[in-house]
Amino acid sequence: MKKIHSKHTVPPMRLPALSLTFVALIIAIGACQDPYLGQLFELDEGDETKITNIAFMEKYPEDYALFLDFLKAADYYNALNDASSTVTIFAPDNAAMDSFMKIKDISSFEQLDSAYARQVIQVHMLRGGLSEASFIQYLNEGSIGIPTLFGDYLTLSYGFTNQDIDDADRANSKPEDTLSIYINNMASVRDMAHQTVNGMVYKLGGVVRPLIETVVEKMHDYGEYSLFLDAVEQAGMTDLLNITSDTVQQAMGGYVINPVNYTVLAVSDETFRSAGIQSVDELENYLAEKDPAGQSGIARSDSNSVVRRYVSYHILAGSNTKGSLTYSSTPNEIKVFDTFQAHEIITIQTLVGQTFINRGSQDVCGFVRSDIRASNGYIHKIDGILPVWCPEPSVVVWDFCNSTDIVSIANSYGAANNLGDLYSSPCDAVEYKIDITKSNPYGTIHSFDYKLASTKGTWLKVGYWKCKANTDATVDYENEFNAYLNNLLILNLGYTGWIEFTTPTIVKGNYRVELYYAGAKALAKKFYGGGSAVKFTLDDYLKQHYLWKGWESTQQAVQGEVLFPNITFQNTQSHTFKAVLMDANASTVSTYRQMWDYVKFIPLDE
């Protein structure tokens, strides 16, 4: 069974075991009434470390009177007065709350939507007591690794920067008020870490506003994407883009909540007008000439409609910043991305500091304003129409762990362990190995299937490995294995165990296919001589390959080997990639595991 959450639904966070009192506090998030209403929890008023957060703020009405009124209006006052539940509160001062009321055009906090009021409070709260020393450490890292009760992470910076500007202007945009610390580029920190009996209180000079708008709502708010949004609506995709999470019933009982994120390449009304397009009718006529695989004159919600194909082509899975879309390990690399339109891809390439989308087409375009955040992803404003286009074959680097499900699991693990967004965070002195089998507690796997055989030892059967930072000054590696994107896929499937993936979309043509994977000193003596047999199939192509064969005994960094020297894809589409472990040692050697990094598809000259 699957339940879909949309609009402003905030999925519950997966947290480690908590005290019953703190669980009660979390439950209070969605409650309509304060569960501790009428109960008193104030302790020794003479020592601020022996009174509650609420009692501390009550002592200083000149600073916190309005925020206390806000807590009462949102039914949070007594919940935060519970001495047995430890919470860190970032409390806006009276001037900040007064400014917030003016922005919202209210004279009383009771005039705010109750759900929104609770969301504002939740984004100002962390579980546990955040000391000043820890806060400063997080400041050096750029964000607090502990999720708020709203479920997101607070960023920290010296000063604030105007970020709601075009990319071309950001180079000249300088931080202001750099002597102050800012949270989420919105609220300055006026006073640090006042310890109380049930946590910490930080005083803020602004209100942090929760990010609740979906990608659709965010585009509506900007007011410059009306035609694009009309196309989204007529294509029948508005509801899809308003989804923020889904709840999946697990086979063994219970459920997992998976966040849903999108990346939208949005076209402004001004860009459409410059091409002579002022309605969806005119857009359909334009696309009929550009996309021969689509149909015009049919229901625009039909999967074959040029309008539906166009809108789907502008949507990528996952929450992709411009930085992640343009990241390249080699100069001038052409990045290839699947879209929501089946078997249709976009390309992104950066040359001499300028980024191009679908370079080589007549409709090449670029980014105008990137990284517009929404509650379920990112919007990137582009300066072209970007119709569906099929590029020439180019190198495709397919990282096994760079899929939305594995990214979500890694980040859910990070949230549960106060590590922030673990997948995209820089590697550090600690490595993390996370179970990503179907029984993992952090999310649902859909990017691969597998079958386990008997194994020996404690290595994860299928796992995500966030590599630790390289400490060897003799090599120029970011992480100890020189792994792409700082991660590896752990496979401990046993003899005859297998794993199967669907590749990204590959443009039709001839390719050489290479596998990149890591080694380990513990495997060297037994496997670096003759190798370890694995049977690989790619659609109808089959080859048995011996991993680690001929490796030097000291090697462990990622190396590449040819799996298929010449393979032909007749159509532009995705493909089935399967590996079966054919080495009996996979079931009998306790240290056995494979560590895959990525597959590279390299076009061959005709």
Looking at the fold, whether 199 and 220 belong to one and the same domain comes out as no
Region 557-581: what's the mean pLDDT?
A: 97
Asked whether residue 4 is assigned to any structural domain, the reply reads no
Looking at the fold, whether 402 and 498 belong to one and the same domain comes out as yes
Asked whether residue 562 is assigned to any structural domain, the reply reads yes
User: How far is 206 from 400, CA to CA, in rounded Å?
Assistant: 42
Q: Place 29 in a pLDDT band, splitting at 50, 70 and 90.
A: very low
Looking at the fold, whether 421 and 287 belong to one and the same domain comes out as no
Looking at the fold, whether 115 and 219 belong to one and the same domain comes out as no
Q: How far is CA 157 from CA 126, 139, 154, 370, 435, in A?
A: 18, 7, 10, 20, 33
C-beta neighbour count of 524 within 10 angstroms: 17
Asked whether residue 1 is assigned to any structural domain, the reply reads no
Looking at the fold, whether 45 and 177 belong to one and the same domain comes out as yes
Of 153, 176, 204, the domain-final residue: 204
Looking at the fold, whether 265 and 191 belong to one and the same domain comes out as no
pLDDT in tens, 180-233: 999 999 999 999 999 999 999 999 999 999 999 999 999 999 999 999 999 999
CATH number of the domain to which 175 belongs: 2.30.180.10
Question: What secondary structure letter does DSSP report for 147?
Answer: P
Is the model's pLDDT at 21 over the cut of 70? no
Contacts with 273 (C-beta within 8 Å, 6 or more apart), sequence order: none
Looking at the fold, whether 409 and 325 belong to one and the same domain comes out as no
Of 204, 229, 258, the domain-final residue: 204
First-last CA distance in the chain: 49
* Amino acid at site 568: T
Contacts with 307 (C-beta within 8 Å, 6 or more apart), sequence order: 231, 234, 235, 280, 283, 284, 287, 300
Asked whether residue 473 is assigned to any structural domain, the reply reads yes
The widest CA-to-CA distance across the chain, in whole angstroms, is 83
Looking at the fold, whether 362 and 408 belong to one and the same domain comes out as no
H helix intervals, 488-599: 521-527, 585-588
Asked whether residue 425 is assigned to any structural domain, the reply reads yes
Phi, psi at 101, each rounded to 5° = -65, -35
Q: What is the dihedral of CA 516, 522, 528, 530, to 10 degrees?
A: -110
User: How far is 200 from 134, CA to CA, in rounded Å?
Assistant: 12
User: How far is 552 from 546, CA to CA, in rounded Å?
Assistant: 15
Asked whether residue 489 is assigned to any structural domain, the reply reads yes
Is the model's pLDDT at 33 over the cut of 80? no
CATH number of the domain to which 516 belongs: 2.60.120.260
Looking at the fold, whether 223 and 165 belong to one and the same domain comes out as no
Yes or no: say if 578 and 537 are a contact pair by the CB < 8 Å rule: yes
> Which pLDDT value is given to residue 252?
61
What are the tokens at 342?
């089946």
Looking at the fold, whether 384 and 422 belong to one and the same domain comes out as no
Looking at the fold, whether 383 and 429 belong to one and the same domain comes out as no
What count of Cα atoms within 13 Å lies in the side-chain half-sphere of residue 430? 6
pLDDT in tens, 230-277: 999 999 999 999 999 888 766 666 777 889 999 999 999 999 999 999
Asked whether residue 2 is assigned to any structural domain, the reply reads no
Instruction: Please report which helix (H) or strand (E) contains residue 177, including its range.
Output: strand 176-183
Domain hosting residue 365, numbered range: 215-391
pLDDT in tens, 431-485: 999 999 999 999 999 999 999 999 998 999 999 999 999 999 999 999 999 999 9
Q: What is the dihedral of CA 102, 104, 108, 112, to 10 degrees?
A: -170
What are the tokens at 471?
């400490």
Contacts with 505 (C-beta within 8 Å, 6 or more apart), sequence order: 336, 338, 343, 344, 345, 572, 573, 574
Of 391, 413, 429, the domain-final residue: 391
Average pLDDT, the chain: 91
Q: Place 557 in a pLDDT band, splitting at 50, 70 and 90.
A: very high
> Which pLDDT value is given to residue 7?
34
Q: Place 69 in a pLDDT band, splitting at 50, 70 and 90.
A: very high
Instruction: Please report which helix (H) or strand (E) contains residue 24, including its range.
Output: helix 20-27
Yes or no: say if 506 and 573 are a contact pair by the CB < 8 Å rule: yes
Say how many domains are in the chain.
3
> Which pLDDT value is given to residue 5?
33
C-beta neighbour count of 419 within 10 angstroms: 18
Task: Quote the percentage of the chain above a pLDDT of 90.
Answer: 85
C-beta neighbour count of 525 within 10 angstroms: 9
Looking at the fold, whether 499 and 419 belong to one and the same domain comes out as yes
Asked whether residue 459 is assigned to any structural domain, the reply reads yes
> Which pLDDT value is given to residue 113?
93
User: How far is 295 from 92, CA to CA, in rounded Å?
Assistant: 55
Is the model's pLDDT at 40 over the cut of 50? no
Contacts with 38 (C-beta within 8 Å, 6 or more apart), sequence order: 78
User: What would you report as the CA-atom Rg of the chain, rounded to the nearest whole angstrom?
Assistant: 27
